[in-house]
Amino acid sequence: MWQAILTAIVLMVIILFGARNMHQTRINFPLAGGVDIQTVFLLIVAYFLGFTSASFFWIMKQLKNRRNK
């Protein structure tokens, strides 16, 4: 539980830092061209994608271990 709280605090620091520095980043897609997005939102999306994929793989590992027992 303390890890989730610590992660939330780190995320809030990143958001506050990003709010003070609202730079835009250009993301180029192969077929659709480029899109300008604010850097702080790009960081948030990357964080949640990483957290979601890590959680998914952890759940799959737990299910695999439960089936083997």
26-55 mean pLDDT:
85
pLDDT at 21: 66
- Beta partners for residue 33, in sequence order: 29
pTM (two decimals) = 0.55
Instruction: Return d(Cα 69, Cα 62) in angstroms, integer.
Output: 11
Instruction: Return d(Cα 1, Cα 8) in angstroms, integer.
Output: 11
Report CA-CA distances (Å) from 54 to 3, 17, 19, 24, 38.
14, 25, 27, 27, 25
More confident site: 33 or 18: 33
